[in-house]
Chain A
Amino acid sequence: MKTNLPILRFQPIDFQRLVKIGLWIMTMITLLVLFFIIIFVVSKGIRVVNSEFLFGLPERMGKEGGILPTIIGTIYLTVLAIIIATPLGVGSAIYLTEYTKENIFTKIIRFGADCLAGIPSIIFGLFGFILFVIKFGLGWSIISGGLTLAFMILPTIIRTSEEAIRAVPLSYREVSTALGGSKWQTISQVVLPNAVPGILTGVILSIGRCIAETACVIFTAGSSLRIPTSLFDSSRTMAVHFYILTREGISMERAYGTAVILIISIILVNFLAYWIMYRFIRRKGGHGG
């Protein structure tokens, strides 16, 4: 390009500075939006958060009282989903990485898992509603909700576990085999223990998704405000509670109060995930030396 204007003759170093500023601005915008959302929610909801709100029973459909049943419901559903999805996901990941050769079949499975991970959760909700609630006659219940959530997070757990297992150095497997270890001994005693941090990271991110999930749960676990006493009771999660309080105009203040608790739990879960990832990376770094 010909240009006679000396002012426009950008040197790479100038361009580099410009790019850096541009990237900095983008990062700042992202952070600002994030902080704005959190500050907005917290400022609107923090006033109602106290021990009675956390540990009290709701009254008048949530217009007054606390959110204890929704906290319990969230925990039940999340724990159930994780208990179902983790063994299934880790088992599939072990099979895919250790027992199959890379071929069209594994590629299809992997592609399928990736697609499944991208399906909107409301589709899973409808699927769970038709299969578990209606077809299996489980009704709106923690078991229906837990199963549906488990299917929703399964692809994530498979893929993260796969990556974690693949990241275990080949040399560990070689040594174990050379010492006369069988394939399963190698997997169970060398590969899996070294993949645990990576697998846990995927599980924890899935916990976050379960806690935050609405569409999937409202169709399958219902929205009962009683404290559930069995797996077959309907239950309401914090996210669903927030949705109903807002949607039906019951109490904006309490909706935001619930959102504050929701955000705090997600942040805690994410901190846990980062802590584990940090340890994982440090450990891997240690191996190279």
Chain B
Amino acid sequence: MTILPGESVKQKIEIANLNVYYGDFHALINVGMNISDKTITAIIGPSGCGKSTLLRSLNRMNELIDGSQINGEILLDGRNIYEIDIFSLRKRVGMVFQRPNPFPLSVFNNITYGPRVHGENRQRVLAEKVEQSLNAVHLWDELKDRLKTNALTLTDEQKQRLCIARLLAVEPEVLLMDEPCSTLDPIATLRIEELMRNLAQDYLIVIVTHNMQQAARVSDFAGFMLLGELIEFGKTQNIFTSPKDKRTEDFLLGKFG
């Protein structure tokens, strides 16, 4: 099944007939969706429905799992992601994880890790990237005097912002977020959501979330997944107000999940 938001617009990501297997387990079944640039797409659904698998297919992180097998087509700017060098693919399609996971290094070294991995060693450029990235996540004022402190001493919200900043420093085009707020308190969650809205002006964001309200608040498009299938995909407003599929409606009403 394929639904095209804004059919005429050139799509940033095109997924067609995507199937993922973990050993015998069929984790994603014929998933197809198109995602346009500078939008936020939320993937919702109960645990184990394949949300994270879909997300991790986009930057080929699934391949790290033993026995995983992937069929189908994922295009980034019209190019098959399997034809792109894997390191530059992951540079273009970055990921924010569920638990804030800064390295046990200084704030500065956390952010410069990505650029250094991609060969940037000039201190001046690195320092600029740190300032830009921290500014983009609204941490610069808080942390500009504490660039040398260990990132593990930050608050959870700061850590997650730092992780986003660390990602922005490699200049990605797509941000994949795997339940980025699930370990944060409600106020921090709202602030991160605000940040996501800001970032959506420059990036394509795909977010996996358990939190229906979050999906409704933050996303432009939403996809509902169940048992490995993409049941429904479309404008968030339409999905939440007038779902076409009975299963989507039941899930949104809290009948299961």
Contacts and interface: CB of A to CB of B under 8 A. Distances in A.
Contact of B113 (A171, A176, A289): A176
A190 B163 CA distance: 15
Interface string A135-169: 00000000000000000000000000000000001
A185 B29 CA distance: 34
Given A189-B113, A287-B104, A174 B167 contact: no
B225 to A, nearest CB: 22
- Which interface residue of A171, A178, A185 has the most chain B CB atoms within 10 A? A178
A178 B87 contact: no
Given A177-B61, A179-B170, A180-B87, A171 B101 contact: yes
B87 A174 contact: no
A101 interface: yes
A189 B95 contact: no
A289 B150 CA distance: 13
A174 B170 CA distance: 16
A189 B116 CA distance: 10
B167 A172 contact: no
B229 to A, nearest CB: 26
B117 A180 contact: yes
A92 B170 CA distance: 33
Interface string A274-289: 0000000001001101
Contacts of A172: 101, 103
A175 to B, nearest CB: 6
B61 A181 contact: no
Interface in A253-289: 283, 286-287, 289
Contact of B61 (A174, A182, A194): A174
- Which interface residue of A176, A179, A185, A287 has the most chain B CB atoms within 10 A? A179
B121 to A, nearest CB: 13
B87 to A, nearest CB: 5
B113 A179 contact: yes
A177 B97 contact: no
Contacts of B90: 177-180
B129 interface: no
B66 A179 contact: no
Contacts of B51: none
Interface string B117-147: 1100000000000000000000000000000
Given A189-B113, A189-B117, A287-B104, A178 B152 contact: no
A182 B88 CA distance: 11
Contact of A175 (B64, B87, B97, B153): B97
A176 B117 contact: yes
Report, as a range, how many residues of chain B touch the other chain.
20 to 34
Contacts of B59: 178
Nearest to A194: B104
Given A185-B117, A194-B104, A287-B104, A179 B97 contact: no
A101 B67 CA distance: 12
Contact of A178 (B61, B103, B118): B61
Contacts of A190: 103
A286 B101 contact: no
Contacts of A283: 104
Contacts of A174: 61, 64, 97, 101
B91 interface: yes
B101 A179 contact: no
- Which interface residue of B88, B94, B101 has the most chain A CB atoms within 10 A? B101
B64 A179 contact: no
B97 A171 contact: yes
A286 B64 contact: no
Contacts of B61: 174, 177-178
- Which interface residue of A175, A176, A177, A180 has the most chain B CB atoms within 10 A? A180
Interface string A182-215: 1001000110001000000000000000000000
Contact of B166 (A101, A179, A189, A286): A179
A286 B97 contact: no
Nearest to B167: A179
Nearest to A179: B114
Nearest to B105: A193
B99 interface: yes
20 contacts: A101-B66, A171-B99, A175-B101, A178-B61, A178-B90, A178-B95, A178-B97, A179-B90, A179-B91, A179-B114, A179-B170, A180-B114, A180-B118, A181-B113, A182-B117, A185-B117, A189-B113, A283-B104, A286-B104, A286-B152
Interface of A: 101, 169, 171-172, 174-182, 185, 189-190, 194, 283, 286-287, 289
Interface of B: 59, 61, 64, 66, 87-91, 94-95, 97, 99, 101, 103-104, 113-114, 116-118, 152-153, 163, 166-167, 170
Given A177-B64, A180-B118, A189-B116, 17 more contacts: A169-B101, A171-B97, A171-B99, A172-B103, A174-B61, A174-B64, A174-B101, A177-B90, A178-B61, A179-B114, A180-B88, A180-B89, A182-B87, A182-B117, A189-B113, A194-B104, A289-B152
